[in-house]
Structure 1
Amino acid sequence: MRMACRYFLIVFFYGIGAAFFHLPAVLWPFRMLQTISFQNTSATEIMGTIAFLGDVETHSLDTHTWKIKFLQPWTQSAFTPLKWEMLGQLFRASFIDFKKAINNMVAASNYSYPFVIQSFFFCEIGTDGTKRGFYKGAANGDDVLGYSTDNATWVVQKDTPLAVAVQDFLNRNKGTTANMRSLLLNECIDILESSLKTGNETLHRQEKPVAVVFAQEPPATTDSLLLVCQVTGFYPHLINVSWLQDEVALPSSRINSTTILPNYDLTYQIRSSLAIKSMETSHSYVCRIQHSSLDGKSLVILWERKHRYRVTIVVVVLVASILVVVAGVLFYLQKKRRQYEDVNQAISKTARQ
């Protein structure tokens, strides 16, 4: 579950989700993902609540005891034990109110069960010191509405009866809006600032990438070759992978790359590929990796060509060698046979005399 959450957050916040609020590029925002399943009016379950600082898992919520769990040894110092306990109870009260409000809105909008609601809480400190907070809600994977501390209003992202009902309710409910703003700009920012100080060693660790380049043989009907550069084991996630032909960088339009994917050891991987024609194989090709762990240098991996005619020559030489050995053995056996026949003839001749 935690691995799936980590993957989802990477894709969401470093990929398509970044366009939602036009966020500035900050390296260590604090984020929390909560998933709630609504089976019917009486069966509602929190499937998971987990928090991240950047891409490092920091906290989770035990919904049986409503206590905050600390996933890193340095994450507890942001608050006193009493305040952490109060925060857990705040989540409990918020969940009860949220469940009741959603069920009432579903009844009013004729929205049908079951469905899953995902909530994203996000706060950051910009390079200029500006503190910002955001909330984004999704139902069954579709954006429903969002909230930003910049304008302090709830905005519909998908015009559905449920989304409009939730927006109207929240914009009228000033207490809920004030609590959301306080949660994002106070508790969230406090956790962020404290964790940036106490978790410095973990957050700024550097793991060097390891890469290999190989060619994938195309179908017999195509006149091309696919060069693949597999890069793994690096941290942090920001990386640049490019291809060079005869020491000249190729345009990105010729390169296909996967998204940056997490490994189980809290590092990352990426796969970049380049398609070339058979007539282009005489050129040299290099995969170039640039990463913060390399101290300003680049990791360069050369594609080593394996010409088919060389393989053919090796096979021919091998077969010829085998034929020579076989011929030599046959010649030796034939010679021995003749010597044996000559000896027998001599013995027979002596016996007759």
Structure 2
Amino acid sequence: MGAAPAVCVVFLSGVVVSVLGGDQHSLYYIYTALSKDVALPGIYEFTALGLLDDREIDYYNSKEQVKVPKQDWMKEKMQPDYWDKGTQSRKSKEQWFKVNVDILMQRMRHTNNTNLHVLQWRHGCEIDEADGNVRFLRGIDEYSYDGSDFLSFDDENMRWIAPVPEALPTKRKWDEVPILNQYTKGYLEKECVDWLTKFMEYRKESLRNHSKPDVHAFAKKSPTNSGRLTLTCLATGFYPKDMVVSVRRLHTSLPEHLLTSSGVRPNDDGTYQLRKSAEIQEDEREAEYDCYVNHITLKEPVIKKWDKKCSDCQSDLNAGLGLVRKITVGVTVVLLLLDLLGGIIFVLKKMQITGNSRN
């Protein structure tokens, strides 16, 4: 393989998901090259994507040949020249991959078969900011061929690891250029971390402007007591994650020890959600319950009243069925009247036509 260290993990349609804690974050770039065009929608000979905390932030493929943003905040924050330079970089890597797929197929003695072969590269970094300070956790730069590990960078010792004999020529070639390995280490531990923290800040700024909570109040039958309901207050889509949610009766918050809380949980888009639930007697429906929510993005708290309905209670289901029956009966009566009216009109028209024919 030619000079250009890289990372490779195998997954055509999937994405490698990092298992990180709430204060840990990752930035990875993943490149995938196929040995031939498979003529399937959405599958290209070469693709490249960037992932921030396992969410796609940019994308490139060999058909459109343009690096594009996949998050609104990336489009808003990154200047046009960032995308122009990124496009040129992706085009160069596409050509590099075409050459090296052929080289690897020769090494693996795959040149005489018509099977599809895949070369992938993954590189990036992970950090921890639990105490407010950014701490580098690890950097990854690795390649895979047809789903198997082919070559990886040992960041601590600044050398390449070859798990298969076919990777040894590349390992020797790259290890013989110390400045190349120094650059790889510097990228993983410094440049990648800088980009990761910058992207995180851009995302936070965007979320701060578009992160008001969406509030819901609903009830279901209690799973443990047939005479009780579980009343839930749900706030979702908010950022940052500091949030106040209370279940209230007659404008008075129920004590926290009477509530069940989900704790603040992340949504897929980087926002958060929190739900709190209280058990109430089913015959307390007429009491006024509501959800009280306060957040830094709100000018004043949101108060969402419970509509006193229960989504899976038999009485509500019967009421709904009763309404459906009334509507059905009403529609049937209307249809009968229309049929009768249509018949009368038809007879009148028939008489009129007959009468005209006599004249």
Category of TM-score, reference length = shorter chain: 0.3 to 0.5
More helix by share: 1
Larger Rg: 1
Higher relative contact order, chain-length normalized (CA < 8 Å, sep 6+): 2
Q: TM-score, normalised by structure 2?
A: 0.47
Q: Normalization by structure 1: what TM-score?
A: 0.48
